[in-house]
Structure 1
Amino acid sequence: MKKDVLVSVLGTQRNDVGETDTIHLVTEGRMFIKPNSYYIVYNESEISGMEGTTTALKVEANRVTLNRMGRSELKQTFEEGVLNESVYVTPYGSMHMGVLPSKVQVDLGDKGGSINLEYELQFDQRKLSDNSLLITVKEEHRFSELR
């Protein structure tokens, strides 16, 4: 089953000197409901700095896999306590990247919900920052459907 949804992504990045960067993106997307997982697909925008990139999230009970395709490419798995390394490909070059999640909390159902990720971000096997991602998914009700 497929549903139109509104996806809200709130990302926070805190470096080792305490500087914090926050980004908030709200966009339309699609949610695909499978027997043991959900897929959430949306297009990145200029706000995220990844215009021309599509993000797909495979959401399972204890694991979230992020797959970016297009101008930027990345496949990253978030599983509590498990270091996942990958190559992040951008128009400006490639980087070796890793995530070590301390929290992977999924509260998602057929009508939407949330995904809460907290993780250490690493570049070239060195800690870059502590990050959090709060992704909220809600069914989108179009005006024509309300009549």
Structure 2
Amino acid sequence: MSVRSLWIFPAIKEHRDMKKDVWLTISSQQQFAGCDEENIDLQTAATLYERGGKYYIAYEESELTGLEGTKTTVKLDGKTVALIRTGTFPSHMLFAEDERHVGLYQTPVGSEMAIATHTSRVHNTIGENGGHLIIDYTVEVDNSLMGEHHFEMTVSTKPNIQVV
């Protein structure tokens, strides 16, 4: 009788965090109760990076968005998206399909208010070469519907552009 030894070595994967400069195209439609639809379209430079299997997009807000002095980071984890703002107007919003989440929002006058988001759709194809994100959601303040929102972000890689 012979004995065979079988050694199984787990595959060792070298992990390197990815980071690259990208170009964002953002389109947002907002419909507030009793008001006309508001559309916002903008393009900006950003950084796309991967850490721990999740993708992140970070960019500086500008005067055009009314959030000057604020850094926005979008954390993508499959069909869950976190929007984290730091700086002048800090906030944290979470979007997960068919879920309701409550977060804090700091108003321009410095007070905080709790807002709830109910997300009806998250479509995310963003990876290391860019992609597309769509989020449809409603916003509630004090359990009252304030508006319906449609958000789209396209991430395009761009060579030789420095993000400052």
Instruction: Tell me the TM-score normalised to structure 2 length.
Output: 0.83
Return the alpha-carbon distance in structure 2 between the equivalents of residues 70 and 90 of structure 1: 12
Residue 122 (structure 2) aligns with = 104
Do 2:49 and 2:128's aligned partners in 1 also have CA atoms closer than 8 Å? no
Residue 52 (structure 1) aligns with = 69
Q: Deviations over 1:40-69 (max 9, x none)?
A: 000011111101000001101110001000
Long gaps (5+) in structure 1: none
Shift of 1:86: 1.1
Candidates 25, 28, 31, aligned match of 2:45? 28
2:154 is aligned with 1:136: yes
2:134 is aligned with 1:119: no
Do 2:136 and 2:149's aligned partners in 1 also have CA atoms closer than 8 Å? yes
Do 1:71 and 1:90's aligned partners in 2 also have CA atoms closer than 8 Å? no
Residue 70 (structure 1) aligns with = 87
Candidates 32, 44, 67, aligned match of 1:15? 32
Higher strand share: 1
Shift of 1:90: 3.0
Shift of 1:37: 1.2
Count of residue correspondences: 144
Return the alpha-carbon distance in structure 2 between the equivalents of residues 97 and 19 of structure 1: 21
Stretches of 4+ aligned residues off by more than 6 angstroms: none
Long gaps (5+) in structure 2: 1-17
Q: Deviations over 1:8-63 (max 9, x none)?
A: 11111012336200111211110012342100000011111101000001101110
Shift of 1:110: 1.1
For 1:80-99, what aligned pairs fall within 5 Å after superposition?
A: 80-92=97-109, 93-99=111-117
Considering only aligned residues, what root-mean-square deviation do their CA atoms show, in Å? 1.6
Task: Indicate the SS of the match to 1:83.
Answer: strand
Return the alpha-carbon distance in structure 1 between the equivalents of residues 115 and 42 of structure 2: 23
Do 2:102 and 2:117's aligned partners in 1 also have CA atoms closer than 8 Å? yes
Larger radius of gyration: 2
Task: Indicate the SS of the match to 2:125.
Answer: strand
Compared with structure 1, are the counterparts of its residues 143 and 100 closer, same or farther at alpha carbon in structure 2 (3 Å cutoff)? closer
Compared with structure 1, are the counterparts of its residues 130 and 143 closer, same or farther at alpha carbon in structure 2 (3 Å cutoff)? closer
Amino acid at match of 1:113: G
Shift of 1:143: 6.9
